[in-house]
Amino acid sequence: MPRSEFAKKTLLGVVPADSPFYAFHPVTRLTLLLVLSVAPMFIDRPEINLAIIATTFGLFWWGGVRMSDLKKYRLLLVTVALFMFIVAYLAPGEKAQLTPVSLAGLTLYWEPMRWAFVSYVRLMAMLFGAILYFSTNRERDVLVGLRTLHLPFPVSYVAGLSLRSAGMFMEDFATIREAEQARALDLDALSLREKVKLYTMYTVPLFAVALRRADEISAALYARGYTLSGQPGTGGKRTDYLRDKFVVRARDWAVSLGLLGTLVVIAIVSRTTSVFSVQSSPLIAFVEQLLGIG
């Protein structure tokens, strides 16, 4: 069947068939992931995390990711936001030490709300960094990146095998759901309690399929001469054909070191100054002024 020429499939969705990102070695792209997910941890000030998110989106666009593919994360964003704010509302902590605010008849406490907002923005920055990575890297790129960092082959292989199994698992799960439906199980008509009970019913076929596959996979591995250590039959070092197809270029060094350097600077600045703290945030200050807080 003719498939989309634009994108290649991955477990999580698609990646663009062509992208400026691919000019960089997978390990460089892995470094980008590292920096985008770790940097926000040092930053409280929401404007800066928002700027990081904006940069990430800029990278989405530059990398050729189809923006419409990102729509599927909308629900996640809303759910997490609701969750965090509800927690902040219900469990504010020591009320005596907090600043109450009256809003639409409800008494909210400012500090937990502020914390929820700051944390939410930080979380979104980290999340979009990860989404950017998985939207521009296929499973093979992930593993090549890790192996370039000298992750031992068996670890990388087991990771790959897990990904592959996860993929098969998802397909099996979908088929099992259809099979349940074919036995008159109407999911829409079930109560929540019944739905939960249902999930235990899935375990029987899932285990059956998984057990049989495990048997078959281990036989297949044996048949291709795989030994647990990953050591080749001739002794010596295992050739890593795929990894060696990728070459680390000058631009990879430049970008990776630049990114890592930026991360180090951010870490230092956050520890030694208050540039990244909430107190330095004009946005927060503005909101506090609106609410009439000190």
Partner 1 sequence: MSLLEVNDLTFRYEDGTPALRGIDFTVEEGEFIALIGQNGSGKTTFAKSLAGLLRPTTGRVVVDGIDTARKGVIKELVRRIGYVFQNPDHQLFNNNVYAEIAYGPRNLGIDDPERDEIVREAAAVAGVREALFTEHPFFLTKGLRQRIAIASTLAMRPKAIIVDEPTTGQDYRQSAEIMNFLTRLWRDEGHTIIIVTHEMPIVAAYAQRVVALCEGRILLDGTTRDVFARPDELRRTFVKPPQVTRLAQAWGDPAIPSDVITVEELVDGAVSSIAGRSSHSPAGISPGAEPASPRGPGREV
Partner 2 sequence: MNAIELNGVTWRYEHAEEPALVDVNLAISEGEFVLVIGPNEAGKTTLVSAIKGLIPNAITGVLKGDVLVFGDRVESIKPPVLAKQIGFVFADPESQFTALTVEEEIVFGLENVGWPRETIGERVEWAARITGVEDLLDKPPYDISGGQKQRVAIASVIAMQPRILILDEPTAMIDPLGKDLVVRICAELKNDHDMTIVVVEHNIEAFAPLADKVVMVNEGRVERIAPPREIFRDLDHLLARDVHPPQVTQVFGRLRERGLYHGELPLSDEEGFAGWRTLLDGAAR
The site string for partner 1 over 212-241 (x = CB under 8 A, - otherwise) reads x-----------------------------
- CB nearer to partner 2: give 17 or 86: 17
Separation of alpha carbons 154 and 228, rounded Å: 7
- CB nearer to partner 1: give 91 or 189: 189
* The amino acid at 190: L
DSSP 51-79: HHHHHHHHHHHHHT--GGGGGGGHHHHHH
- CB nearer to partner 2: give 3 or 193: 3
Our finding on whether 67 is near partner 1 (CB under 8 A) is: no
Name residue, tokens 């390990």. 27
Separation of alpha carbons 292 and 277, rounded Å: 21
* Residue 32 · residue 133 · CB < 8 Å: yes
Q: Which of 47, 111, 139, 180 binds partner 1 (CB under 8 A)?
A: 180
Query: Residue 251 binds what, of partner 2, partner 1, none (CB under 5 to 8 Å, by partner type)?
Result: none
Q: Which of 17, 201, 214, 257 binds partner 1 (CB under 8 A)?
A: 201
Separation of alpha carbons 179 and 174, rounded Å: 9
Our finding on whether 71 is near partner 1 (CB under 8 A) is: no
Separation of alpha carbons 134 and 172, rounded Å: 23
- CB nearer to partner 1: give 172 or 252: 172
Q: Parallel, antiparallel, or unpaired for β 100-103 and 106-109?
A: antiparallel
Query: Residue 263 binds what, of partner 2, partner 1, none (CB under 5 to 8 Å, by partner type)?
Result: none
Name residue, tokens 């590292």. 34
Query: Residue 226 binds what, of partner 1, partner 2, none (CB under 5 to 8 Å, by partner type)?
Result: partner 2
Our finding on whether 177 is near partner 2 (CB under 8 A) is: no
For residues 221-240, which are near partner 2 according to CB under 8 A?
221-227, 232-236, 238-240
Least distance in angstroms from the C-beta of 60 to partner 2: 22
CA angle 150, 156, 160 (to 5 degrees): 150
> How many Cβ atoms sit within 10 Å of the Cβ of residue 131?
21
| C-alpha dist (Å) from residue 178 to 172, 186, 199, 202, 213 | 10, 10, 14, 11, 20
Separation of alpha carbons 100 and 290, rounded Å: 14
Our finding on whether 130 is near partner 1 (CB under 8 A) is: no
**DSSP conformational letter for 221:** H
# residues contacting partner 2 (CB under 8 A): 41
For CA atoms 126, 127, 133, 138, the dihedral sign is positive
Our finding on whether 5 is near partner 1 (CB under 8 A) is: no
Q: Which of 95, 187, 208, 244 binds partner 2 (CB under 8 A)?
A: 244
CB within 8 Å of 115: residues ≥ 6 apart: 88
- CB nearer to partner 1: give 212 or 238: 212
Query: Residue 14 binds what, of partner 2, partner 1, none (CB under 5 to 8 Å, by partner type)?
Result: partner 1
* Interaction site with partner 1 (CB under 8 A): 1-4, 9, 13-14, 172, 175-176, 178-186, 188-189, 201, 204-205, 208-209, 211-212
* Interaction site with partner 2 (CB under 8 A): 3, 8-11, 138-140, 143, 160-161, 163-164, 167-168, 171, 212-213, 216-227, 232-236, 238-242, 244
